[in-house]
Copies of this chain bind each other. A is one copy, B any other.
């Protein structure tokens, strides 16, 4: 992804929480969806706004599809290093992609994407607000 300005913007690092692990001794597979969501929120804050504001303005960006591939496991004691990118930014829908690493390691442990639609508060699909579509582009 040579010329993706968001690659740097989307970098987020935070420690694994013990509550996110399971009896296999590793991070539970559902926890990664929560990480992805945290990555989206982080990216929005970096772009100068946030999802709370978006909701306050009467918009929502609910998840319509997720896909995750698990190659290897994160463990408690490690940092989650998460790279979030915007793969699609269309008038009514968006796609984000995610890559998860442990600490400073190069091996990508988990990858995934989420698709979203723009809706108003009552859940009706709408065109994304111009201000946000620009921020994301």
Measured CB to CB, the residues of A under 8 A from B are 14-15, 17-19, 21-26, 28-31, 33-34, 37-38, 41-42, 45, 50-53, 55-56, 60, 62-71, 73, 75-78, 123
Which residue of the partner chain, among B30, B50, B53, B65, contacts A19 with CB atoms under 8 Å? B30
Most buried by B among A14, A30, A69: A30
Cβ-defined contact, A17 with B33, below 8 A: no
Q: Can you list 5 A-B contacts (CB < 8 A)?
A: A15-B42, A15-B45, A19-B33, A23-B75, A29-B62
CB distance from A134 to the nearest CB of B (A): 21
Residues in B whose Cβ lies below 8 Å from that of A50: 77
Query: Assuming the A-B contacts A38-B17, A77-B51, A77-B53, are A66 and B67 also in contact, with contact meaning beta carbons closer than 8 angstroms in the complex?
Result: yes
Quick one: copies of this chain in the complex? 4
Cβ-defined contact, A62 with B66, below 8 A: no
CB distance from A111 to the nearest CB of B (A): 10
The answer for the CA separation of A45 and B15 in the assembled complex, in Å, is 10
Since A15-B42, A63-B70, A65-B68 are in contact, a sample of 10 more A-B pairs with Cβ atoms closer than 8 Å, ordered by chain A residue number, is A17-B37, A18-B37, A24-B60, A24-B62, A50-B77, A52-B76, A52-B78, A65-B69, A66-B67, A67-B68
The answer for the CA separation of A26 and B67 in the assembled complex, in Å, is 20
